[in-house]
Structure 1
Amino acid sequence: MVEHISPLPSVDSLLRAAETEVLLTRFGRTAVTATLRDILATRRAAHTFGDPAAAIIDEAADHLVRRFARSQRPVFNMTGTVLHTNLGRSPLPPEAAEAAAEALRNATNLEFDLATGRRGERDDHISGLLCELTGAEAATTVNNNAAAVMLVLNTLALGKEVPVSRGELIEIGGAFRVPDIMGRSGAILKEIGTTNRTHARDYAGAIGPQTGALMRVHQANYAIVGFTTSVPAATLSGIARDAGIPLIEDLGSGSLVDLERFGLPHEPTPRESLAAGADVVTFSGDKLLGGPQAGLIVGNKRVISAINCNPLKRALRLDKGRLAALEVVFRMYLDPDRLADRVPALRLLTRPESDIRATAKRIGAAIAMRWPDRDVAIEACRSQIGSGALPVDLLPSTAVAIGGKALEELAKFLRDLPRPVIGRIARGRLILDCRCLETGDETAFIAQLC
């Protein structure tokens, strides 16, 4: 006797099924229909028949959930790097995120002067605050610090030479190099000095008729120690002033306050650079400052005015959402005594070691319960402040260290959780640094392990 095999259901019958109604409501008829057709075509090609309609609809639901899931999702950063470039750097203060969302949802006075009823300038929403916080005469913004450096060089030194110390020709994440930025800007790099020692005479000797500016680049992601010499900004500004050319200083991460007040290593501030005589200073908004991705440019009025007249400025400008977020963050800096509580980046960097250890113990207990056959230990470790932001200075922290076999598979399991957990494998163990797992996140972390 030949066994009877039920044919595959039609697309129309599947669409009419009661179980499909929720998919149609959530994902729309076009996407549901296309998914059902793909599943049926795959079954026909594999000669797979006889599955009930409910099984096909369940498979379609799985496909649709994956297809419509957001690609960019919140993760638990347990890598040990607080301002992690690949994980979005600084988390925004909730007030800044809400301001950005409100601006993006609505029409705003982005480039409209409410007082006069005429066209306004988008930078006016934050330039006054930025000048107040840095002591600059004028300020402007672009979409990141690399763009800021490129715009400044293109404005002040297009087709002209810019002497830079060899020890400052840094490479940042993604094989992104200062010499490449300078080349794209139209400026001509003139290397001076050596990797470990550059003197004032090197700068003075490099200046000629084709020199457009002097440039000083903060060594934001590495340090040269030992037999070293560098030229301070105050000395360079005098050399530049005598030659009648501007001094550009790129601070990289940058900070609007002296971080030593929070027990962190000192990082040069724009106010210090300007006070030392720099004509224009560039720095990031999304690293130590704790705001959204942005390139911030401060300096004297003449230079900033020339930068704002450059056609490239429009191509690199900030959108209304990030400007709204920046304004909120800048206003927080007007109250420096509460910064460490209000700005998440600073709160994570200054989090007490006792709090981190308490978190690690609770997380470790949950992990040991979930995987009783694994070796789970609580141990002291060191957190990195950030790649590109004080990378050689480490902070005392506590981690959950997980041993055993198949660590890559375990790391993959954690990355596949509803809110992915990102750790690192080192010395034959999976390390989960708990500095960035604040108390409010513990419940969510533990719940998804069950």
Structure 2
Amino acid sequence: MEGFRALPSVDQVLLSDEGQALIARHGRKGVREALRARLDEMRDAIRAGEDGARLAATLPALIAADLAARDQTRLRPMLNLTGTVLHTNLGRAILADAAVRAAVIAMTSPLALEFDLETGGRGQRDDPLRTLLTELTGAEDATIVNNNAAAVLIALNTLAGGPDCQTREAIVSRGELIEIGGAFRMPDIMARAGARLVEVGTTNRTWLRDYESAITPQTGVIMKVHTSNYRIEGFTAEVGAADLARIAQAARVPLLNDLGAGSLSDLSHFGLRREPTVAEAVAEGADLVTFSGDKLLGGPQAGFIVGRRDLIARINKNPMKRALRLDKIRIAALEATLRLYRDPDRLAEHLPTLRDLARPQARIAAMAQSLAPRVDALLQPLGFAAAPCLTSSQIGSGALPVDTIPSAGLRLTGQGGDAPERLAARLRALPLPVLGHIRDGALILDLRTLHDEARLLTALGGALSGGRSAP
């Protein structure tokens, strides 16, 4: 049995063909550090009685594996078969091809971001989006920040919390004081914005008189909040935006309508329950409307504020605006996304979010029937079976929280009460992870967002072979 002399030196490995190949791929510094760490481990193993020659023979493969693992991004692509189309934890909307192309151009070329090509002077970075947003919503003006929470924050700070407002009151129905993902609560956002919260009504019922009696000379804004992630049923009452607009106008107090997910098109055209559009919220008389860019709109993360020109001008002068502004890549992708809404008849063809939401159950079920025997053949050696099933998808990201969409998928089962968890863990560990959801003793792969059968089969083939499947 050989000892320490069987181990190569660091320089020997670096100068070898294997070492040079690793350096070309990972860099000399990384290879040297990984090599030293493995050699230290091997010396400890030899002291414990291991054979040095046997350890040395494994060194190149171990170093290659260490470096590959180190360089693997945590932002890995995966197959979202959870049944949640806009999955917050998976990045929400998939961008349209036009938006991806625009983002690539923005990443690789200088842009007229804050440069006016006509005058040669400084321009405004929001201008390309402002033009489209006013056209699509009917609002007088628009501005953009980095997400909808930021849109609400800066709007409240401008109307009720800035130094010129001396902390004014923001009136909100108690039933609309929502908590969104990550434990961000509307009352906390208001406090951070510097506004003083005035709750009106009760959890399930708020009347027009509740708002009217709460208005004082200190009122800075009346706010309506879309309860995007829950719904109260039973004995309920809420005041519509149009009615709120009338009392806000009479009191000369701005009305801020936070739509949350926000849609620029009528979702009923795609077989979904009708939700108020941004244009309708503007027409109902809201002075400002806030909504997201990466939910129902189908673009990258952003927060939009549309409404009265004078209020938008005040928001743009708020020092927060610079801290919350968008970079050129997202602006370019958003402009391309908004342009798609100029052709509503073909919107579902070009926008992945609406394409997936509008996909008929029959088409998804046909895919499930086609895939089931092939997936079953792949999983049988692992002790699992696959069968087609009907299921229900949801929009996600707080949009239409109690609504589901008829869908279809694969029902994966195995022996033992923990079979779904074991298989789910195995599929998450694949080079191209496959995510489903567990229900009724099975792992369900909802196929609503799957458009490439071969990609799923290749990924699941990795579960059987233990090899690497290409993303």
1:270 counterpart (278, 283, 293): 278
Give CA deviations for 1:200-231 in whole Å, capped at 9, x if unaligned: 11001111122111000011111112211111
Relative distance call for 1:189 and 1:12 in structure 2 (3 A) is same
Matching residue of 1:39: 38
| 2:191 matches 1:178 | no
Contact 2:298–2:351 (Cα < 8 Å) also in 1? yes
Give CA deviations for 1:52-84 in whole Å, capped at 9, x if unaligned: 645211101101111111110211111111111
1:155 counterpart (154, 158, 163): 158
How big is the alpha-carbon RMSD for the aligned residues of Structure 1 and Structure 2?
A: 1.2
Q: CA deviation at 1:95?
A: 1.4
Give CA deviations for 1:1-32 in whole Å, capped at 9, x if unaligned: xx443431110001111112221111110111
| 2:454 matches 1:443 | yes
Q: CA deviation at 1:315?
A: 0.3
Matching residue of 1:28: 27
Paired with 1:4 and 1:63, the residues of 2 have a C-alpha distance of 25
1:82 counterpart (70, 82, 85): 85
Paired residue secondary structure (1:386): coil
**Tell me, which stretches of 5 or more residues in structure 2 are unaligned?**
162-166, 462-471
Matching residue of 1:335: 343
| 2:376 matches 1:390 | no
Paired with 1:53 and 1:403, the residues of 2 have a C-alpha distance of 43
The total of aligned residue pairs comes to 446
Matching residue of 2:136: 133
Paired with 1:207 and 1:434, the residues of 2 have a C-alpha distance of 50
Matching residue of 2:127: 124
Paired with 2:198 and 2:374, the residues of 1 have a C-alpha distance of 57
Using the size of structure 1 for normalisation, the TM-score is 0.97
Matching residue of 2:172: 164
Paired residue secondary structure (1:213): strand
Give CA deviations for 1:146-195 in whole Å, capped at 9, x if unaligned: 00000000000011111100110111111121111111111111111001
Matching residue of 1:102: 105
Paired with 2:366 and 2:430, the residues of 1 have a C-alpha distance of 23
Paired with 1:263 and 1:432, the residues of 2 have a C-alpha distance of 22
Give CA deviations for 1:114-157 in whole Å, capped at 9, x if unaligned: 11111110000110000000000000100000000000000000
Give CA deviations for 1:316-364 in whole Å, capped at 9, x if unaligned: 0011001000100111000000001100000000011122112222332
Relative distance call for 1:229 and 1:33 in structure 2 (3 A) is same
Q: CA deviation at 1:366?
A: 2.3
Contact 1:19–1:54 (Cα < 8 Å) also in 2? no
Letter aligned with residue 384 of structure 2: R
Q: Structure 1 residue runs of 4+, over 4 Å off?
A: none
Paired with 1:413 and 1:4, the residues of 2 have a C-alpha distance of 39
For structure 1, which segment, 266-275 or 5-14, has the greater mean C-alpha deviation from structure 2 after superposition? 5-14
Contact 2:151–2:290 (Cα < 8 Å) also in 1? yes
Q: CA deviation at 1:277?
A: 0.7
The percent identity for this pair of structures is 54
Using the size of structure 2 for normalisation, the TM-score is 0.93
1:246 counterpart (242, 251, 254): 254
Paired with 2:428 and 2:62, the residues of 1 have a C-alpha distance of 23
